[in-house]
Amino acid sequence: MDSSTRPVTVIPISAFKDNYLWLLCRGAEAVVVDPGDAVPVERTLADRGLKLRAILLTHHHADHIGGVRALLDTREGQSLPVYGPANEPIDGVTDRLKEGDRIVLDAIGITFDILDIPGHTRGHIAYVAMPDESHPEAPLLLFCGDTLFAAGCGRLFEGTPAQMHDSLAKLAALPPDTRVYCAHEYTLSNLRFARAVEPDSDALERRVADADATRARGEPTLPSTIALERATNPFLRVDQAVVREAAERHAPGAGRTALSTFTALRRWKDSF
Ligand code: ZN
Ligand code: FE
C-alpha cells in the first residue's frame, strides 16, 4: 500500500513522570506534539526509522517545550517548522497560531484546525485534525495539551475559571467520536475525584474498571473520546443537576450556575 493512502498513526512517547509526547506518523514521516524532552523522541524516531518534519506546541510549560531546542539543533539547516500559540512567547516557534488558523502538514498529509483554549495558560491552543482525508468519516484527532484531561481538566495557572469553562465547552462540542490526546496520564487520580462528585454513576464505575485494568497492563488510558468525557468528566458535566448538587454540598451556594459549579469543582479538586 502506498504510504500516502495509509491513515496516520499516533504513538505515545512517555516522558518524565506522567507526560505523553504524541508522535504522528505516516510512512517514514513524523510530527511530534509537545516534546518536553528530546531524548525519548530521538530514540523513538531512530527505532522506527522516522524523519521528524514538524513540531507542534500547545502551551509554554517546560514539560511541553523543553526538547524543542535540542531537536532543532540536531537538525540545523533543515528548516523544521515549529508551530505554537500566538499569545505565548516560546523560543524557536516559527509559526504563531490562533483560533481560526489552519495548517497543512504535507509530510504526513494532515490538516490541523486551531482552537484557542485559554485557562491553564493564557495562550493555550488545541490542534484538531482529520486522520485520513480519503476517509472523511474517520474520527477527528484532538491534541489539547493540559486543558481537557481524561476525566479531568488542567489547573488554572494563568486563566480564569470562566475562560477554562468556555474552553472545555468548545472541546466538548467536537464530534462525540473525536479521539482526545491529552498530555498527561492523570486518569486514575482524576477518576477518584469524579467518583467523589458522582458516586452513583454507572458510566463512571465502568470507566474506573476499564482504566484500572488498562493501567494494570501498563498501557496508556489514552486516547479518550469526547463522548466518554461528556459522560464521565465532572468538569464537562457542570450543567447536570447531580453535579450541581455535589458542588452545592461541598460549597453552599456553588451550585447556582454552571460556571459557579465549575469554579467550585476546580477549587475542590485542587485540594482533593
Ligand atoms: Zn502545562
Ligand atoms: Fe504539562
pLDDT, tens digit (0-9, with 9 covering 90-100), for 91-134: 999 999 999 999 999 999 999 999 999 999 999 999 999 887 78
Ligand 1 centroid from CA 60, angstroms: 7
State pTM to two decimals: 0.97
Dihedral sign for Cα 186, 190, 192, 193, please.
positive
Ligand 1 centroid from CA 64, angstroms: 7
Ligand 2 centroid from CA 109, angstroms: 27
Per-residue model confidence as pLDDT tens digits over 130-189: 887 788 888 999 999 999 999 999 999 999 999 999 999 999 999 999 999 999 999 999
Ligand 1 centroid from CA 59, angstroms: 7
Closest CA to 151 of 212, 63, 217: 212
Query: What pLDDT is recorded for position 135?
Result: 81
Q: How far is 73 from 69, CA to CA, in rounded Å? A: 6
Q: Which domains does the chain have, with CATH numbers?
A: 3-237 (3.60.15.10)
**Which ligand sits closest to the CA of 157?**
1
Query: What pLDDT is recorded for position 154?
Result: 98
**Which ligand sits closest to the CA of 34?**
2
Residues noted as catalytic: 59, 61, 63-64, 120, 146, 184
Element (H, E) at 235: none
Query: What pLDDT is recorded for position 136?
Result: 82
Output DSSP code: residue 117.
Answer: -
**Which ligand sits closest to the CA of 59?**
1
Q: How far is 57 from 143, CA to CA, in rounded Å? A: 10
Cα dist from 105 to 11, 17, 207, whole Å: 17, 30, 35
Ligand 2 centroid from CA 271, angstroms: 19
Cβ–Cβ < 8 Å for 184, 222: no
Q: Which residues surround ligand 1, an ion (CB under 5 A)?
A: 61, 146
Q: How far is 145 from 129, CA to CA, in rounded Å? A: 14
Angle subtended at Cα 19 by Cα 31 and Cα 166, rounded to the nearest 5 degrees: 85
Cα dist from 36 to 18, 55, 134, whole Å: 12, 11, 32
Ligand 2 centroid from CA 253, angstroms: 32
